[in-house]
Chains A and B, each alone.
Chain A
Amino acid sequence: MKKKVIAACLAACLMATMTTGCKSSAAKENNASGKLALAGSTSMEKMCEAMSESYMDANPNVTVTVEYTGSGAGIESVTKGSVDIGNSSRGLKDEEKSKGLVENIVAIDGIAVITDKDNGVKDISSEDLSKIYDGEITNWSQLGGEDKPIVVIGREAGSGTRDAFEELLEIQDKCKYAQELDSTGAVLAKVAKTPGAIGYVSLDVLDDSVTGMKIDGVEPTEKQILDGNYKLQRPFVMATKGEVKDQNANVKSWFKFVESKQGQDVIKKVGLIIPNK
């Protein structure tokens, strides 16, 4: 009995080494090896972690390191040449482009503003939205709705969605939250169940349990985002010094991976939108 178990274990081990062996020989086809350094936006952490993990699975000879230093610092590092790619969760400024940086938009982050189903207010201007979140507007009647207090729901400090939302509306650190929840799902559930609530979530999780508000008359859909009409969106940029085709083999293989089906799946999986080519 014991011998049989040992034999089975050995066979399993053998099979495992065989399959992994096959995988690595397949990956060796592309000749990238060595190190690839990225630095920049903290909001892009989730995407970069997922992307570098699956990239290193496919290219075991390359070690990808990503530092989350903030968009500005990332752009500075790539300009100085201390990293290969600078991550930025905003578009590059003209002066940055004039230093030879190329804006490679790999994904778009969209945020939906949601209310409970029974709320009559379905369209809001971005100014009014800012006023709700900094505590100036406290009742839906001030926006032409019912006489109901507004329950302002948001995410916890450090959340990428909160970061993006406050940055896009220029209300960083001015928000007066009634509730700070620590997951997208929790925000969705609370807003759906609380009359008069307002909250924000990543666009990809928007569902029928809540109303996705129009911002300045524009509906929160992927199409409106790609057309550039919807306000609450920002690009995720992986900036390089010079065009991608002039970069070293590792950088080229990185961007090739990002644009491959596998890479695009990673982007979708972390809730981002794939930009138009």
Chain B
Amino acid sequence: MKQRAFIEKLAKTIVLICAAVAIFAVCAITLYMILKGTPALKKVGVYDLLFGKVWKPTAAHPAYGIFYIILSSLVGTAAAILLGVPIGLLTAVYLSEMAGKKTGSIVSSAVELLAAIPSVIYGLLGMMLLNPMMYRLEHKIYRGDSQHVFTGGANMLSAILVLAIMILPTVISVSKSSLESVPNSLRAASLALGATQEQTIFKSVIPAAKSGILTGIVLGIGRALGEAMAINMVAGGAVNIPLPFNSVRTLTTQIVSEMGYAGGLHREVLFTVGLVLYVFIMIVNLILLNARKRGAN
């Protein structure tokens, strides 16, 4: 009996330690980012750093403005959401409401595969297929325009398209499961009142699954905001205003591409860029927590 109690206690301790690892990791990362990210804010000046429009870290008179970089991240994420969410939501509707068993399982496994593809593959395809197409488009639009800096197709638009595809699996799977959890009685009631299937889906099922769908969107935002590899390969990487045919750099690719050789204040500013990204991700997660709580009530 004593031995049994001991094992019980031991198991409890081990489980507790494992749980503590996650908490410790989150605390350590938060503390590290704040400690590493704030000194540059003081040295460069909060306004000059966050709202400065010139990024020239290695110039004789260096400028560390990351405003366009922040803006590129936000615009890219927002546009990817605007593009990806309708497609994702309608796919989820198809899967949960309309698809037969056979086609449904084919589409479902395709979506799962999409989620499993590593981001570097998305980047590679974007670089090899999307960028040349964009370049042809760029030629047509800006022919003879001497002001436009030709980017060779690596631009904001490519990044948005790649991101939109990358968030699809998240949006689809979360929305699908929340649509499926809507009780059948609701559908039956709506149909019995004479509503068509479309009316039933868009007027009663989707509103009922609202909080789940919202969770999917927020998760998609997190994914798009944090993606680095694929964007680094298709977006060109020069710091510019985020216009569709400009080459851009986001918060993530900023760190990836310059950390290698950066030194001194330049390096510290890159940590601040990391801190900014971290704050954005935290905000997204807080919204998510809130949405979930509201869904639970």
- The interface bits of chain B over 148-161 (1 if a CB of A lies within 8 angstroms of the residue's CB, else 0) are 11111110000000
Whether A196 sits at the interface, judged by CB under 8 Å, is yes
Task: Encode contact with A along B29-63: 1 for CB under 8 Å, 0 otherwise.
Answer: 00000000000000000000000000111111000
- Nearest to A46 among chain B residues (CB) is B261
Do A157 and B258 contact each other (CB < 8 Å), given the known contacts A179-B247, A182-B237?
yes
Within 8 A of A (CB), among B255-279: 256-258, 260-263, 266
Check A182/B236 contact, CB under 8 A, given A42-B263, A151-B152: no
Interface 0/1 of B117-157, CB less than 8 Å to A: 00000000000100110010001001000101111111000
Q: Mark A195-207, 1 if CB is under 8 A from B, else 0.
A: 1110000000000
B238 contacts partner chain A, Cβ-Cβ < 8 Å: yes
A143 CA to B91 CA in the complex, in Å? 52
B interface majority secondary structure: loop
Asked if B176 is an interface residue, CB under 8 A from chain A, the answer is no
Q: Does B77 contact A (CB under 8 A)?
A: no
Chain A residues closer than 8 Å to B131, beta-carbon distance: 193-194
Evaluate contact between B237 and A193: CB separation under 8 angstroms: no
Say yes or no: B261 contacts A180, CB within 8 Å. no
Considering the chains assembled together, what is the distance between the CA atoms of A153 and B146 in angstroms?
17
Chain B residues whose CB sits within 8 angstroms of the CB of A151 once the complex forms:
150-152
Closest to A159 in B: B261
- Is the beta-carbon distance between A194 and B58 smaller than 8 angstroms? no
Let me know if A262 is at the binding interface, CB within 8 A.
no
Name the interface residues of A160-195: CB closer than 8 Å to any CB of B. Answer: 160, 163, 172-173, 176-182, 190, 193-195
Which chain A residue has the least Cβ–Cβ distance from B256?
Answer: A182
A68 in contact (CB, < 8 A): yes
Q: How many interface residues does chain A have, given as a range? A: 20 to 34
**Residue A111 lies at the interface, judged by CB distance under 8 Å to chain B:** no
Name the residue of chain B whose CB is nearest to the CB of A189. B127
Contacts of B260 in A (CB 8 A): 158-159, 182
Residues in chain A near residue B153, CB distance under 8 A: 194
A157 to B148, CA, bound (A): 22
Contact of B237 among A135, A139, A180 (CB under 8 A): A180
- With beta carbons under 8 angstroms apart, the residue of A135, A194, A197 that contacts B149 is A135
Residues of B within 8 A of A180 (CB): 236-239, 247, 249, 257
> For B142, what are the chain A residues with a Cβ–Cβ distance below 8 Å?
149
Question: Residues of A with Cβ closer than 8 Å to B?
Answer: 42, 45, 68, 135, 138-139, 149-153, 156-160, 163, 172-173, 176-182, 190, 193-197
In addition to A158-B262, A194-B152, 10 A-B residue pairs with Cβ atoms within 8 Å of each other are: A138-B150, A156-B261, A157-B258, A158-B261, A173-B59, A176-B149, A178-B247, A180-B237, A195-B135, A197-B152
